[in-house]
């Protein structure tokens, strides 16, 4: 698996199939990126679970915080880790001890740990690193185009007007890989140095 | 399994656009409105807090403009773009994100005269200090780097000289200095040169020229390559530090590889205000659909006209990088193999007076201060676009007193040559 650049088909398949997402490091503070992403994914119909031992007893947009992945008490499809790269390994180890393994482990924009990723992949789990699921969902649905962002997708179909809780079609034609190759290259250079 | 990659001409027609969700309109509608209703208070708050994708007010973003932004980002191979009212507005908005009073940036001496002017005078009043580098002496850029340097600015193909800049060599200097390279790609357009492929971190355009292409609309755009690490070394606080106007959001942390385009929108355009009219965005988008076809014709005609002039007894010199033997021909072959653009200069044996005469004798070429129109254009830079510069600056910028600049249109080349022939003999 090349973690410097992902094919749209790989990301699309993940976002089209997972239903529940546990967000480790979710913040109740409404200017933190984790809060934005949690709210957006909930609005797009995902079953969101906030995981953060510092906020047990509170809830995030009506969903109660749990202290750990084990405390969720039911299988989840995807674990989205909103922690720095240095905090990734224990979360992945914790995920690998769950009775039912998640299908996907996703590490946020800026977070990457190739060793932890290899461990998860060896257990049959799909891994995405250094990406944001909100941005990827917005990109593949082209909803992010409102911000002038290059969705790297094309479509000649009329799209529905998004409403609260609505899942959008992510099945547009990809212009993927090549067109923002420069930014993938830069990410790779950065990782090679660090 | 790999995803198939559409080509440049397909992107020029389709990128960013899709049938209107409400009406099914296939051409991009002109959303000529100042503002957009919110679904409810929470939706409004999310939009203002940069938490949701959507529209608020046309000074910050507009759906017609968004199509233009995504289209140019796709053509340049960038992560995102921001359209603004003019090429000059794009330059102000870019540098506002990068420089604080007392900071410096290095600019190529060979630039559009208006940019030299903007950098020398207007930006000086903001406390942004320009240092000059000579694209014919790449080392001069490196020597101009100081601890206060925040960016390097060049033109891919320079106005008025039509010279081609060694983007990769200057990118290496920018990289070493830890500053972004900004490339004004107005005269090349992404059809001829994609600066991001050669190491540019930010691309700007005057859309007014070849991209819009019909001489009917002002516009500018900023493209984010997504390649620069804004958080490294705390040199770019607009991107790396919490923003008080957005409750402490850090733009780079939140928006990743399109953070620069977002900063330009929410800190630059929102506060400085040079918004592009949606009507102009529509005209520019329509122009871009035929960009590949027009650029082919522009380049073919320019080469034929340059060859004609080079063989004419009254012509002293032709400076067109597309001609073998030109000083910039090898750079043109490397960076712009499809053609060296449609802008070039030449000088007449009769000097200044002969130049002025030629301009007044032409019947098809229009004498005006623009480039990149479907129509062929002529100007005498020393007395117009570059008139604010002194003689030494003029010569360095490629606008010496005897120089005439042509912007070759998409008419029949035989007619352009005949017009020049009669004007030279008249
Ligand atoms: C290379 C170049 N950059 C920038 C500009 C400024 O663009 P605008 O006139 O759209 O502000 C021009 C205009 O002539 C230009 O030729």
Distance, CA of B302 to CA of B376 (rounded, Å): 10
pLDDT of residue A179: 44
The pLDDT assigned to A178 comes to: 41
Give the residue extent of every domain in chain A.
8-193
Tell which wins on pLDDT, B382 or A126.
Answer: A126
Do B270 and B330 fall into the same domain?
no
B323 in the same domain as B275: no
B343 lines ligand 1 (CB under 6 A): no
Show Cβ contacts of residue B380 under 8 Å, excluding neighbours closer than 6 positions.
B355, B356, B359, B403, B404, B405
Q: Write the pLDDT tens digit of every residue in B333-350.
A: 999 999 999 999 999 999
Give me the residue label for tokens 């790989």.
Answer: A10
Residue B264 and residue B341 in one domain: no
C-alpha B112: how far from chain center: 10
The beta-carbon neighbor of B196 closest among A109, A132, A182 is: A182
pLDDT in single tens digits along all 194 residues of chain A: 889 889 889 999 999 999 999 999 999 998 888 998 999 999 999 999 999 999 999 999 999 999 999 999 999 999 999 999 999 999 999 999 999 999 999 999 889 999 999 999 999 999 999 999 999 999 999 999 999 999 999 999 988 777 777 888 888 888 754 446 777 777 777 766 55
Closest CA to B153 of B100, B188, B195: B195
Q: What is the DSSP letter of B404?
A: E
Q: End of a domain among B287, B316, B340?
A: B287
Please check whether residue B341 lies inside any domain of the structure. yes
For Cα atoms B264, B265, B267, give the angle at the middle one, nearest 5 degrees. 70
> What pLDDT, in 10s, does the model give residues A52-103?
999 999 999 999 999 999 999 999 999 999 999 999 999 999 999 999 999 9
Inspect the interface and report whether the beta carbons of B265 and A31 lie closer than 8 Å.
no
pLDDT band at B380 (very low <50, low <70, confident <90, very high): confident
On whether both B60 and B183 belong to a single domain, the answer is yes
pLDDT band for B49, please (50, 70, 90 cuts): confident
The shortest CB-CB distance from A31 to any of B10, B73, B247 is to B247
The overall average pLDDT reported for chain B is 95
Residues B172, B246 within the same domain: yes
Share of chain B above pLDDT 90, in %: 84
Pocket test for ligand 1, best of B192, B209, B216 (most atoms within 8 A of CB): B209
Q: Is A181 on the interface with B (CB under 8 A)?
A: yes
- Number of inter-chain CB pairs under 8 A, A vs B: 155
**Cβ(B409) – ligand 1 distance below 6 Å:** no
**B51 at interface of A, judged by CB pairs closer than 8 A:** yes
B93 neighbors B139 (Cβ within 8 angstroms): no
CB neighbour list of residue B90: distance below 8 Å, 6 or more residues apart: B84, B204, B205, B206, B220, B221, B222
Residues B241 and B390 in one domain: no
Residues B308 and B373 in one domain: yes
Query: pLDDT > 70: what percent of chain B?
Result: 99
Structure tokens at B341: 């653009």
Nearest CA in chain B to A181: B77
Task: Indicate whether B277 and B322 sit together in one domain.
Answer: no
Q: Give the pLDDT score at A180.
A: 61
pLDDT at B353: 87
d(CA B216, CA B218): 7
Q: What is the CATH number of domain A8-193?
A: 3.40.50.720
Model confidence at B4, pLDDT cuts 50, 70, 90, reads: low
Question: In this structure, are B282 and B394 located in the same domain?
Answer: no
In this structure, what are the phi and psi dihedrals at residue B89, rounded to the nearest 5 degrees? -60, -40
pLDDT of residue B83: 98
Q: How confident is the model at residue B39 (pLDDT cuts 50, 70, 90)?
A: confident
A159 or B18, which is more confident? B18
- Domain membership of residue B300 (yes or no) is yes
A118 CB-near residues (< 8 Å, 6+ apart):
none
ipTM: 0.90
Q: Please state, in angstroms and rounded to a whole number, the distance separating the CA atoms of residues B203 and B228.
A: 13
Per-residue confidence at B3, pLDDT binned at 50, 70, 90?
Answer: low
Exposure on the CB side of residue B392, measured as CA atoms within 13 A: 0
Whether B1 is in a domain gets the answer: no
**Are the beta carbons of B49 and A31 separated by less than 8 Å?**
yes
pLDDT of residue B420 exceeding 80: yes
Query: Per the structure, how many domains does chain B have?
Result: 2
Q: Do B55 and A146 touch (CB under 8 A)?
A: yes
Q: Decide if B246 touches A, using CB distance below 8 A.
A: yes
Residue B1: the pLDDT is 43
Domain that holds residue B175: 8-287
Q: Domain with B161 in it: what CATH number?
A: 3.40.640.10
Residue B2: inside a domain, yes or no?
no
Are both B302 and B283 inside the same structural domain?
no
Q: Are residues B131 and B155 in the same domain?
A: yes
Q: Which residues, numbered 115 to 134 in chain A, qualify as contacts with chain B under a Cβ-Cβ cut-off of 8 Å?
A: 132
The total number of residues written for chain A in this structure:
194
pLDDT at B197 exceeding the cut of 70: yes
Q: What is the mean pLDDT of residues B232-258?
A: 93
Secondary structure (H, E, C), chain A: CCCCCCCHHHHHHHHHHCCEEEEECCCCCCCCHHHHHHHHHHHCCCEEEEECHHHECEEECCEECECCCHHHCCCCCEEEECCCHHHHHHHHHHHHCCCCCCCEEEECCCCCCHHHHHHHHHCCCEEECCCCHHHHHHHHHCHHHHHCECCCEECCCCCCCCCCCCCCCCCCEECCCHHHHHHHHHHHHHHHHC
Boundary (domain end) residue, out of B262, B287, B312: B287
Name the 3-class secondary structure at B219: coil
Residues of A (3-62) whose Cβ lies below 8 Å from B: 7-9, 30-31, 33, 35-36, 39-40
Tell me the mean pLDDT in the region B344-358: 91
Closest residue (by CA) to atom 8 of ligand 1?
Answer: B87
Q: Is B117 in the pocket of ligand 1 (CB under 6 A)?
A: no
Judging contacts by C-beta atoms under 8 Å, the chain B residues touching residue A185 are: 227
Mean pLDDT calculated for residue range B167-190: 98
| Whether B273 and B302 share a structural domain | no
B115 in ligand 1 pocket by Cβ < 6 Å? yes
Confidence of residue B41 (pLDDT cuts 50, 70, 90): confident
Q: Which of B208, B373, B406 to mutate to test the pocket of ligand 1 (most atoms within 8 A of CB)?
A: B208
CB atoms A183 and B39 under 8 Å: no
Cα angle A176-A181-A185, degrees, rounded to a multiple of 5: 140
Domain boundary among B287, B304, B325: B287
**Nearest neighbour of A148 by CB, restricted to B10, B229, B261:** B261
pLDDT in tens, B94-105: 999 999 999 999
Ligand 1 pocket member B171 (CB < 6 A)? no
pLDDT classification of B426: cutoffs 50, 70, 90: confident
Domain of B420, CATH number, reads 3.90.1150.10
Residue B396 pairs in a beta bridge with: none
Q: What is the pLDDT of residue A176?
A: 53
All residues at 6 or more sequence positions from A115 whose CB lies less than 8 Å from its CB, including other chains: A89
Q: Which residue of B has its CA nearest to A134?
A: B52
């Amino acid at each position: 698996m090349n973690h410097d650049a992902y094919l749209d088909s790989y990301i699309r398949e993940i976002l089209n199939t997972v239903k529940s997402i546990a967000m480790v490091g979710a913040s109740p503070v409404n200017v933190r990126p984790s809060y934005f992403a949690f709210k957006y994914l909930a609005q797009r119909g995902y079953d969101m679970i906030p995981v953060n031992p510092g906020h047990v007893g509170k809830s995030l947009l009506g969903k109660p915080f749990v202290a750990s992945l084990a405390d969720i008490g039911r299988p989840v499809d995807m674990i989205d880790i909103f922690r720095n790269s240095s905090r990734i390994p224990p979360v992945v180890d914790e995920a690998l001890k769950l009775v039912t393994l998640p299908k996907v482990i996703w590490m946020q924009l800026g977070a990457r740990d190739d060793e932890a990723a290899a461990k998860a992949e060896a257990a049959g789990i799909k891994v995405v690193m250094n990406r944001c699921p909100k941005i990827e969902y917005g990109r593949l649905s082209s909803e992010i185009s409102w911000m002038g962002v290059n969705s790297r997708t094309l479509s000649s179909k009329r799209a529905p007007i998004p409403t609260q809780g609505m899942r959008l079609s992510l099945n547009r034609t990809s212009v993927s890989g090549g067109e923002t190759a420069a930014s993938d290259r830069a990410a790779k250079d950065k990782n090679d140095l660090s | 399994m790999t995803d198939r990659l559409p080509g440049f001409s397909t992107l020029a027609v389709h990128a960013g656009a899709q049938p209107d969700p409400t009406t099914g309109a296939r051409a991009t509608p002109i959303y000529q409105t100042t503002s957009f209703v919110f679904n409810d208070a929470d939706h409004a708050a999310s939009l203002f807090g940069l938490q949701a994708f959507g529209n608020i007010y046309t000074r910050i973003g507009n759906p017609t403009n968004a199509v233009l932004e995504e289209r140019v980002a796709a053509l340049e191979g960038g992560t995102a773009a921001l359209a603004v009212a003019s090429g000059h507005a794009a330059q102000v908005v870019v540098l506002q994100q990068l420089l604080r009073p007392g900071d410096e940036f290095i600019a190529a001496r060979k630039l559009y005269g208006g940019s030299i002017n903007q950098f020398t005078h207007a930006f000086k009043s903001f406390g942004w200090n320009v240092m000059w580098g000579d694209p014919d002496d790449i080392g001069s850029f490196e020597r101009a780097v100081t601890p206060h340097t925040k960016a390097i600015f060049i033109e891919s193909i320079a106005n008025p000289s039509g010279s081609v800049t060694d983007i990769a060599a200057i990118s290496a200097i920018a990289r070493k200095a830890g500053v972004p390279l900004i490339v004004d790609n107005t005269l090349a357009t992404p059809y001829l040169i994609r600066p991001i492929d050669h190491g540019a971190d930010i691309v700007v355009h005057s859309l007014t020229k070849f991209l819009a292409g019909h001489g009917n609309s002002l516009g500018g755009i900023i493209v984010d390559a997504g390649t620069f690490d804004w958080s490294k070394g705390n040199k770019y606080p607009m991107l790396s530090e919490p923003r008080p106007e957005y409750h402490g959001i850090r733009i780079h942390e939140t928006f990743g590889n399109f953070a620069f385009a977002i900063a330009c929108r929410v800190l630059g355009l929102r506060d400085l205000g040079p918004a592009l009219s949606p009507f102009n965005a529509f005209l520019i988008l329509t122009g871009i659909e035929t960009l590949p076809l027009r650029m082919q014709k522009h380049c073919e005609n320019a080469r034929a006209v340059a060859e004609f002039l080079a063989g004419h007894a009254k012509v002293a010199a032709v400076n067109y990088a597309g001609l073998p033997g030109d000083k910039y021909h090898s750079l043109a072959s490397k960076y712009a193999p499809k053609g060296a653009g449609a802008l070039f200069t030449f000088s007449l044996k009769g000097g200044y007076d002969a130049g002025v005469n030629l301009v007044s004798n032409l019947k098809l070429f229009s004498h005006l201060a623009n480039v990149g129109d479907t129509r062929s254009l002529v100007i005498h830079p020393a007395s117009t676009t570059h008139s604010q510069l002194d003689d030494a600056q003029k010569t360095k910028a490629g606008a010496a007193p005897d120089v005439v600049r042509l912007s070759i249109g998409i008419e029949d080349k035989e007619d352009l040559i005949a017009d020049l022939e009669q004007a030279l003999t008249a």
